[in-house]
Amino acid sequence: MRKAWIYLLVATLTACQSQEQTVQNNNYIPPVPKLSSDVMTPEVLWSFGRLGEPAVSPDGRKVAYTVTWFNIAENKSYRDIYVHDLEQNTSARIIDSAEREFNLQWRPDGQKIGYLSSSSGSVQIWEINPDGTGATQVSQVEGGVSGFKYSPDQNHISYFASVKLDKDIHDLYPDLPLANARIENDLMYRHWDSWHDYTYNHIFIAPYRDGKMEAGKDIMEGERFDTPMKPFGGIEQFNWSPDSKSLAYTCKKLTGKAYAVSTNSDIYLYDLEAGTTANHTEGMMGYDKNPVFSPDGNYLAWESMERDGYEADKIRLWITDLKTGGKKDYSANFDQHAEQLTWTANSQSIYFISDIQATDEIFRLDLADGMIRRITDGVHNYSSIGLAGEKIIATKTSMSMPAELYSVDVYSGADEAVTSINKGILDQLTMGKVEKRWIKTTDNKDMLTWVIYPPNFDPNKKYPAILYCQGGPQGTVSQYWSYRWNFQMMAANGYIIVAPNRRGLPGFGMEWLEQISKDYGGQNIQDQLTAIDELAKEPFVDENRLGAVGASYGGFAVNYLAGNHDGRFKAFITHCGIFNFEQMYVTTEEMFFVDWDYGGAYWDKSNAAAQKSYSFSPHHFVQNWDTPMLVIH
C-alpha cells in the first residue's frame, strides 16, 4: 500500500488566513450504466461507487461519508463528500470538485465538517457547512497535512505531518546534485513497497480559533520515530482525552535492527500543559495501538497484542481505570480479535468488531459484568462503527454487495440500509449463490469453506473450479467485497470458486490461527487440497478442469502446490507469491515476521523448527512443475 510521502519542514503559522474554496463542477459521477447482460464484467466491477470514511455527527442525526468513482477512460478516480440525514433519510452531495477529499471529521460542535483537500496546491485542512456552503481553508502548513483531529473543547487541532530528520545523498554530498544513490548501514531502509524517505510522521498540536489553525508544536521534536506508524497507520492511532488536556498516541520507539525485529509499540500520553510524555504501556511487549478514551474520561481502552515479534497475535481489549491506574484484559476469555473499539455515550460499554467463523460481526463489552455479547449475526462483514443514539451506523459488505451504510439496532442486531449507492447496477446483475460448507479435514477438524457458484448456475452442467488460496498468511476469507480478488467476478466467468478457511485464519480460535506458523507446507496445504477434492466429487464440477489462484501467502501456496499437487490442477495463477524462503529471509525488512513464522534463520542448522520451515520453500520443488502458471508480480 503506497503512501503519498510529503516532504516538509513544518512551518509556523502566525495568522492562518482563511480562504474561500472556489468550487468547480468538474467532478466525475457516471450515470448508471445500462448493462447488456446480467453477468458482471471487469468494466461493471469498476463502475461501482466506493463508499468510505463514514462519520456520524455529534448529535447522531447525520452521517458524512465519501464516494469514490473511477473514470476508466482517464484511468483516474474522483471522490466527493456526502451527508445523509438519518431522520429524513435523504442524502446530498456537499462537494463537487476534482479533488479527492478525505479524513472526514465533524467539528465537536457539529456546525462544520473538517476534511483534507489539495485544492490549494498542497494537502490542507478545510471546513465546510453540512449543507455544502462555506468551504474554507483552515490550515497553511508548509508541505501539507497527512491527517488531523479536533480537540473536544475545539481549542486545538492535532495533526500529523512528515518531518525530515535524516540526511539523504544530496545532504551528504551537495556537490553531486545528480547522484541517485542511497547509503545504508542499518535495517528498515525500506518497508513494504517504499524506501525510507528520510522523513518521520510526527504529531503536532496547534491552537484553533475562529476557524483558523495557528502554528503547530511538534510534540515528538527530534525523535526518529513515526506516529502514526508506517506504512499503514492513520488517525486511529491517536486520540484526545475528553477534557482536551492530553493526547494518547501510538508509537514504536525503536530504530534500526531493534525496530526490524520487534512489534513492541506502546501507547504514550502527552500532557498539553506540562509538555511531558509518559509511556502508558511500558512492559507490555507486543503491539499496543489505537487508544480510545471513554467519554467521561475515566477509562482508556486500546488494542493490545501480548507477544513481541508476533504480528498476528490475538488482538486483546485492554482498559485502564485512569482513577486507580489499574489495567485489565477484558478479552482474556474471548478467543477472537477485538478491533475498532467504540465507547458508548455513558462510558459503560464498548462496541467492537471481531471475525467469527468467517464473518465480521459487532460485539459489545459491558463493564458492569465484564461480559462480551454478540450483537449481529449474518452472512456479511461490518467494517466500521459509529453511534447514533440506539443505532449503530456501520459499513456493511458481502461477497455479493459492495460497501453500503446500514443502521443496526443495538438490541436486536437487525439492520436496515442507509445508503444505496450501487442499487442501479446491482438491480441489473445476477450474482452467483454463495454457500457455506463445513468440510472434514485430514485431521478430522471442521473447516468452513465458501463456495461461490456462477450466476444462472445449472446443476446439470459441469463447471471448472478454482481453489482460492488466501494470503496473510493470517488473513481472513470472510464476507469482504474486493476489487482485486472479487469472487463474484471470478464466478461470472463460469467458474465455481472454492474458498476454504484453512488453518492459519482468524475467527476460529487462536489454536486454529496459530497452527500455520512454522508449518507453511503442512496442515494448511492439506486443508486446501481437502476443500478442492471434496468439491471435485460433485457431479457439477469437472474434476479435469481445476485451477488454483492466490496472492502473497496465497501465491506461496500456489507455488508450493505447483510442485506438490499430484496432477490435480490444470492451471495456476500466482501473484506476488513467496518462491524462495532463503531469499526472503535475507531481503525482507520485517525481520519479526520471518523470525516468528519461519522460526529463525535458514543457516541455523540446529534450529529444527526453522529447518522444517525452509524445507517447504517452493524452489525446492520446481523440478516437479508441469502445469501452466500465470505469474503476476
Model confidence pLDDT, tens digit, residues 146-201: 999 999 999 999 999 999 999 999 999 999 999 999 999 999 999 888 899 999 99
| Average pLDDT value for residue range 94-106 | 93
Q: Enter the C-alpha cell of residue 440.
A: 472434514
Residue 419 resides in a domain: no
The predicted structure's pLDDT at residue 9: 28
Q: Three-class SS of residue 161?
A: strand
Angle (CA) 50-21-25 rounded to 5° is 55
State pTM to two decimals: 0.94
Count the Cβ atoms, other than its own, within 10 Å of residue 22: 8
pLDDT at residue 277 above 60? yes
Place of cell 492530553: 246
What stretches of 70-111 show up as alpha helix (H) in DSSP?
none
pLDDT at residue 204 above 90? yes
Which of these, 433, 552, 427, lies nearest to 485 by C-alpha position? 552
- The total number of structural domains that make up the chain: 1
The predicted structure's pLDDT at residue 2: 34
Q: Enter the C-alpha cell of residue 274.
A: 506540562
Which of these, 187, 114, 98, 94, lies nearest to 157 by C-alpha position? 114
Q: How far is CA 466 from its chain centroid?
A: 26
Neighbouring-strand partners of residue 54: none
* Of 11-25, 106-120, 122-136, 366-380, minimum mean pLDDT range: 11-25
The pLDDT tens digits of the residues spanning 43-62 come to 999 999 999 999 999 999 99
The predicted structure's pLDDT at residue 388: 97
CB crowding 563-593: b at 16 or more within 10 Å, else e: bbbeebbeebbbbbbbbbbeebbeebebbbb
Q: Classify strands 276-279 and 299-304 as parallel, antiparallel or unpaired.
A: unpaired
Tell me the pLDDT band of 98, cut-offs 50, 70 and 90: confident
* Cα–Cα separations (whole angstroms), residue 265 to 147, 217, 304: 20, 23, 9
Using CA of residue 361, residue 366, residue 372, residue 378, what is the dihedral sign? negative
Neighbouring-strand partners of residue 320: 300, 327
Neighbouring-strand partners of residue 361: 354
The pLDDT tens digits of the residues spanning 592-602 come to 999 999 999 99
pLDDT at residue 207 above 80? yes
Tell me the pLDDT band of 97, cut-offs 50, 70 and 90: confident
Tell me the pLDDT band of 4, cut-offs 50, 70 and 90: very low
Residue 209 resides in a domain: no
Are 83 and 64 within 8 A, CB to CB? yes
| Average pLDDT value for residue range 346-375 | 98
pLDDT at residue 458 above 90? yes
The predicted structure's pLDDT at residue 192: 86
Are 250 and 263 within 8 A, CB to CB? no
| Average pLDDT value for residue range 459-472 | 98
Tell me the pLDDT band of 256, cut-offs 50, 70 and 90: very high
CB crowding 315-350: b at 16 or more within 10 Å, else e: bbbbbbebeeeeeeebbeebbbbbbbbbbbeebebb
The predicted structure's pLDDT at residue 610: 98
Distance, CA of 607 to CA of 505 (rounded, Å): 26
Distance, CA of 338 to CA of 364 (rounded, Å): 10
Residue 561 resides in a domain: yes
pLDDT at residue 275 above 90? yes
| Average pLDDT value for residue range 382-393 | 97
Residue 272 resides in a domain: no
Left if phi > 0, otherwise alpha if psi is -120 to 50, otherwise beta: which for 432? beta
- The domain in which residue 570 lies consists of 431-579+617-632
Q: Which residues contact 276 (CB under 8 A, 6 or more apart)?
A: 270
Average per-residue pLDDT in the chain?
94
Residue 164 resides in a domain: no
Are 199 and 163 within 8 A, CB to CB? yes
Are 558 and 546 within 8 A, CB to CB? no
Are 518 and 597 within 8 A, CB to CB? yes
Distance, CA of 16 to CA of 138 (rounded, Å): 7
pLDDT at residue 516 above 80? yes
Which CATH number do you get for residue 471?
A: 3.40.50.1820
pLDDT at residue 23 above 50? no
CB crowding 186-200: b at 16 or more within 10 Å, else e: ebbeebeeeebbbbb
HSE-CB for 88 with a 13 A CA cutoff: 8
Left if phi > 0, otherwise alpha if psi is -120 to 50, otherwise beta: which for 214? beta
Distance, CA of 227 to CA of 229 (rounded, Å): 5
pLDDT at residue 1 above 60? no
The predicted structure's pLDDT at residue 27: 79
| Average pLDDT value for residue range 565-576 | 97
Count the Cβ atoms, other than its own, within 10 Å of residue 620: 16
